[in-house]
Structure 1
Amino acid sequence: MDIRIQPFTVHKRVPLTISRGTTAGSTNLWLRLSADGIEGWGEASPFSVGPDSQTTELISAQLQQLEQPLRSLHPLQAQAIDNLLDQVQAFSAVRAAIDLACHDWLGKRVGLPLWQLWGLERQRIGPTAVTVGIGSAAAACDRLQKWQQQVPVRSVKIKLGSPAGIAADQTMFSALLSQLPEGVKVSIDANGGWSLADAITMAEWLADRGVTYLEQPLAAADDGLLPQLYARSPLPLFVDESCFTSADIPPLAGCVHGINIKLMKSGGLSEARRMIHTARACGLQVMFGCYSDSAIANTALAHLSPLADHLDLDSHLNLSDDPFIGAELRDGRLIPPDAPGLGCHHADA
């Protein structure tokens, strides 16, 4: 198979601030894999979790390193491709790009969209959250208003864990809550920005205000404290930065209520499916999330969305210049296409 790698830079309509900093854009990589006259598409987007950073430069260099050895393989040789990626200790974002392209190729080969190939039901897909980042109460309310002007808002994820402390979190949250229409689902993501004591305080405070669940309240380095929070929290607890692949899930059972799956962390749809089944076997719920992903990666996860309890696939909706078109937003739900494979196409096509 032939591989082509093309960088593309995307800019956020509104920069996103979380507990670890602010992002305004990203240079991602578009991977095109060709065999037997069929082209499959994948995407790799850079991300950073704690000391681990997968930059555009690192991802690009490794993909270029893999171009030649991949030429001798076929998209249907999944085991051989996995062995090659294991040998080079491939970054998870590199695995994701190749895995997505192979899945897209396969769907096009058999003429079916992935959701149908897997026997899933699109009517089971719930609303995807739109994200409001950390900021002043006025800035947060302005962001919410911009979302409401852009899309039908049925679910909102609010970023807390402000460096200014939980009093600032409470002020921002209260302002937002007063602006939300009745019936909108509200979740919280602290991105590891709280201490155990603050997490317990905020879990109790937020539970009284109708929040659905609490994501990554503690830093991944503080996973050992999760059992204490689990015993005290009136809200379901989900982890993101603490869980990359299926191997991370069993130790979390009994400490949390669910996990957040992201393609760039997991290494693609193959591992995402393993994570879903592992989580279910451990009695855990599943949510899907994203980084600065375009419509390619978010459409890919949308195909698996009938299997998720909660969805947060809004990154492409906050891009002013996404070059790709894929899943369609209908009444706040991200619905994967009928077209074969991922069903994505270029905006200029």
Structure 2
Amino acid sequence: MRVSIAPFTVRKRFALTISRGTTAESTNLWLKVEHDGIEGWGEASPFSAGGPPQTTETIARSLEPIVNLADCWSPFDRQQIELAAIEWKLPSAAKAALDTALWDWIGKKAGLPLWQLWGLQRSRIVPTSVTVGIGSPEKAIERLQDWLKFVQVKAIKVKLGSPDGIDADRAMFEAIARESPPRLKFSVDANGGWSLEEAITMCDWLAGQKRVKYVEQPLPVVARAELRELYDRSPLPIFVDESCHTSADIPPLADRVHGINIKLMKSGGLSEAMRMIHTAKACGLQVMFGCYSDSILANSALAQLSPLADYLDLDSHLNLRDDPFDGATMQRGCLLPNDLPGLGVQHRATHSRS
């Protein structure tokens, strides 16, 4: 088989601010696996979450051995390829692009979308939340109103953990809640921006707001001991994101969280995402899916597994001005994969000419 990579830059309609900083654009990598006249596609997007930053450059450089030695394998050599990726210490985003492309190839070879190949039901896919980043109450309301104009919103994720403190968090949340339709449900993501005392205070306060379903990553990754105390005292379920990358991270967290956030770039691909789902369920935990600055290519990949998720936050592509791909579509607030084989993703420029 042959493997190639190409960079592409995506720009956000609205810059996203979280507790760690602001992102306005991202240069991602489009990975292609070609064999027997069939192409499988994957995406790697840079991110920084609880470990060394994975940049576009480091991801691309790590894939060079795969590109150079790909003719030794076929897409059916999945175990060998995974072991090589481990041996060469590929960053998780590089693994995600490669693993996703191999799954896309297999789906196309079989002539089936992956959700159908795996025996899943699209009717079980829950609505995906849309994200409002940290900002002033006025900016938060503006962002909420923008979402409501072009997406059938059913759930909102509110980014808190403001560097200005929990008073600023409360003011922003109150503004969004006041201006949003009563039917909307909320989740809150602090991205590790609170201390234990602040997290306890905010979880108590948010529980009183009635519409909040859970709180995500309230404490920094290093605060694992404090996480247990928060778990015991919080009236709201606690989910973790930056604290949980792969299935190996889940059992030690099982006594101090209610759920985990699986992201394609953190996990290293659909294969590991499936392991994480089964491990989490075996530990009695709930599962949500999230994203970074991913295009619809990566989000369509996770959408194939979405029937297994309790909560979804796959909205990054909706905030892009120049996503080069078409794939899963929003229908009644849900991101639904289509009936095309594999990931069901097409390149817009190529598709428009055909």
Q: Tell me by how many angstroms 1:92 deviates.
A: 0.3
Residue equivalent to 2:274? 273
Distance 2:196 2:134 in 1: 20
Deviation of 1:11 (Å): 0.2
Q: Does 1:246 align with 2:279?
A: no
Q: Does 1:183 align with 2:183?
A: yes
Letter in 2 for 1:20: R
The yes-or-no answer on 1:73 pairing with 2:62 is no
Counterpart of 1:60 in 2: which secondary structure? helix
Show CA shifts across 1:216-253 (max 9, x none).
00000111211100010000000000000000000001
Letter matched to residue 91 of structure 1: P
TM-superposition CA deviations, 1:157-185 (whole Å, max 9, x none):
00000000000000000000001112111
TM-score of the superposed pair, with normalisation by structure 2: 0.98
Equivalent pairs: percent with the same residue?
62
Cα deviation 1:146-205 (Å, max 9, x = unaligned): 111121110100000000000000000000000111211100000000000000000000
1:65 is displaced (CA, Å) by 2.9
1:88 matched residue in structure 2: 88
CA shift for structure 1 position 27? 0.1
In 2, Cα distance between equivalents of 1:209 and 1:200: 15
- Which residue in the other structure is 1:40 paired with? 40
**Aligned twin of 2:201:** 201
Counterpart-to-counterpart distance in 1, 2:165 and 2:111: 52
Q: Deviations over 1:83-128 (max 9, x none)?
A: 1101101110010000000000000000000000000000000100
In the TM superposition, structure 1's runs of 4+ consecutive aligned residues that sit over 3 Å from their partners are none
Give the 3-state SS of the residue equivalent to 1:123 in structure 2: helix
1:76 is matched by which residue type in structure 2?
F
CA distance in structure 2 between the partners assigned to 1:165 and 1:50 by the alignment: 21
1:216 aligns with 2:228: no
> Equivalents in 2 of 1:81, 1:3: separation in Å?
12
Q: Secondary structure at the match of 1:74?
A: coil
1:330-349 alignment, distance < 5 Å: 330-348=331-349, 349=351
Name the CA distance, whole Å, in 2 between partners of 1:69 and 1:229: 48
Mapped partners of 1:48, 1:178: distance in 2? 33
Match in the other structure for 2:23: 23
Aligned equivalents of 2:238 and 2:71: distance in 1? 44
Cα deviation 1:49-70 (Å, max 9, x = unaligned): 2451000000011112321122
Aligned residue identity for 1:286: V
In structure 2, distance between residues paired with 1:100 and 1:168: 40
2:139 maps to what in 1?
139
CA RMSD, 1 decimal: 0.7
Partner in structure 2 of residue 288 of structure 1 = 289
1:16, distance to aligned residue in structure 2 (A) = 0.1
Shift of 1:215: 0.1
The residue type equivalent to 1:322 in the other structure is D
* Secondary structure, aligned partner of 1:48: coil
Q: What is residue 173 of structure 1 aligned with on the other side? A: 173
Aligned match of 1:61: 61
- Which residue number corresponds to residue 111 of structure 2? 111
**Mapping of residues 157-172 of structure 1, within 5 Å:** 157-172=157-172
Q: Which runs of 5+ in 2 are unaligned?
A: none
- Within 1, Cα distance between the matches of 2:65 and 2:84? 11
CA contact (8 A) 2:137 2:176 kept: yes
Taking the aligned partners of 1:114 and 1:74, their CA distance within structure 2 comes to 19
Question: Which amino acid is 1:256 matched to?
Answer: V
Alpha-carbon distance in structure 1 between the residues aligned to 2:52 and 2:225: 20
User: What residue number does 2:317 align with?
Assistant: 316
SS where residue 342 of structure 1 aligns?
coil
TM-score when normalising by structure 1: 0.99
User: For 1:314-335, what per-residue CA distance to the aligned partner results, in whole angstroms no more than 9, with x for missing partners?
Assistant: 0000000000000010011000
* Partner secondary structure for residue 23 of structure 2: strand
- 2: CA distance between counterparts of 1:86 and 1:245? 13
Task: Select between 227-236 and 48-57 the one with higher mean Cα deviation.
Answer: 48-57
In structure 2, give the amino acid aligned to 1:185. Answer: K
3-state DSSP of counterpart to 2:69: helix
Contact 2:50–2:243 (CA under 8 A) maintained in structure 1: no
| Distance in 2 separating the partners of 1:76 and 1:102 | 8
**3-state SS of paired residue (1:254):** coil
Supply the distance in 1 between the matched residues of 2:50 and 2:269 (Cα, whole angstroms).
21
- Structure 1: which amino acid aligns with 2:96? A
